[in-house]
Amino acid sequence: MVLPEIGVFRHIIPLGPDHILFVVSLCLLSNRIKTIIWQASAFTLAHTLTLALSMKNIIVVPPAVVDTIIALSICFCSIGNMLITELKAWRVLIVFMFGLIHGMGFASALNEIGLPRNQFYTSILSFNAGVELGQVAVITAMFVLIISWWGKKPWYRKFIVYPLSAIIALIAAWWTVGRVFFEMIFRQSIILFNERLLNLPVFLSISNAFFSSLPIKAVYRHIGEHDSGELTETCICFFRKKN
């Protein structure tokens, strides 16, 4: 059973705003189709490579790190649109490098969809076809709605490229901050708090001493760590003391 491309297409449109903004930022660099093709080709080659490697577990990177770098890639390319006016070799190289990271993000999406047994290569090709359909749709929309109308205007960069790039950069910067602090720091802090503090015997001793001073009694039920690696839990039940 081959993965349906339409399901993967939805990962880009409408469920992948980060990938949409990245492709849009590539289109804003220049109104020349050749420039967009060069960048899109480098991006496609890169994410296809890491998609396959990630699904084979040859490359394993935490999703929180991948998502953060993806947001940074959008911010970088958008700012670059305001600093240069034509395609440079280093820009293609950077797009390729960012494409490697996006490929790891696509691998996470493919894992969510599920990979049929004994159909690794056909599944990868089908998934990648869906991704490409999404990218082509975004590029086509940019040409039809923006570039074909105003791409040749002398004020195109001043009133279209600069404002759109600035907005995209701000959105990506917000995503970066959110993903760093809420995914990589806050979330890990909660896990560390649960593992290192709540499940220590000293926590039970302190809690018992505290509740003994109140007109209630605490009964603890400690659940050990399972073979599956799930976090241990401590359940506290309260009831009134008898006089």
Give the pLDDT score at 125.
81
Higher pLDDT, 118 or 83: 83
State the Cα–Cα distance between residues 127 and 113, nearest whole angstrom. Answer: 10
Distance between CA 126 and CA 5 in Å, rounded?
Answer: 6
Is residue 126 within 8 Å of residue 2, measured between CB atoms?
yes
Residue 82 banded pLDDT, cuts 50, 70, 90: very high
Instruction: Please name which of 151, 147, 159, 170 lies closest in space to residue 21, comparing C-alpha atoms.
Output: 170
pTM beyond 0.75, yes or no: no
| 100-159 per-position pLDDT tens digit | 999 998 888 777 766 666 777 777 788 788 888 889 999 999 999 999 999 999 999 999
Question: Which residue did the predictor score with more confidence, 168 or 51?
Answer: 168
Domain match, 114 and 216 both: no
Q: Report the 10 Å Cβ neighbour count for 219.
A: 11
Which of 79-104 are b and which e, b meaning 16 or more Cβ less than 10 Å from the residue's Cβ? bbbbeeeebeeebbebbbebbbbbbb
Let me know whether 173 and 232 are in one domain: no
* 189 in the same domain as 108: yes
More confident residue, 228 or 67: 67
In this structure, the answer to whether residues 116 and 213 fall within a common structural domain is: no
Tell me if 38 sits within 8 A of 92, measured CB to CB.
Answer: yes
One domain for residues 180 and 223: no
Number of domains in the chain: 2
Q: Are residues 110 and 159 in the same domain?
A: yes
Quick one: 153 and 205 in the same domain? Answer: no
Predicted pLDDT of residue 228: 46
**What pLDDT score does 197 carry?**
53
Same domain? 24 vs 101 = yes
In whole angstroms, what is the distance from residue 49 CA to residue 131 CA? 13
The residue that leads in pLDDT, 66 or 208, is 66
- Asked whether residue 163 falls in the same domain as residue 223, the answer is no
Q: In this predicted model, what pLDDT tens digit does every residue of 7-64 receive, in sequence order?
A: 444 545 545 788 899 999 999 999 999 999 999 999 999 999 998 888 888 888 888 8
Residue 221 and residue 124 share a domain: no
Strand ranges inside the chain, DSSP E: 216-223, 233-240
- State how far the alpha carbon of 34 is from the alpha carbons of 29, 47, 234, in Å: 11, 20, 61
Tens-digit pLDDT profile for residues 183-235 = 656 666 656 665 555 555 555 555 555 555 545 454 544 444 444 444 444 44
CA distance 6 to 86: 34
- For 209, the domain range is 199-240
Residues 53 and 89 in one domain: yes
Query: Between these two residues, 3 and 51, which has the higher pLDDT value?
Result: 51
| Beta bridge mates, 216 | 240
- CB atoms closer than 10 angstroms to residue 233: 13
Query: 3-state class of 120 per DSSP?
Result: helix
Q: Give me the pLDDT at residue 25, please.
A: 95
Residue the block writes with tokens 């999406």: 109
Structure token digits, residue 122: 């056909």
Answer yes or no: do 190 and 203 share one domain: no
Question: What is the predicted pLDDT for the residue at 128?
Answer: 81
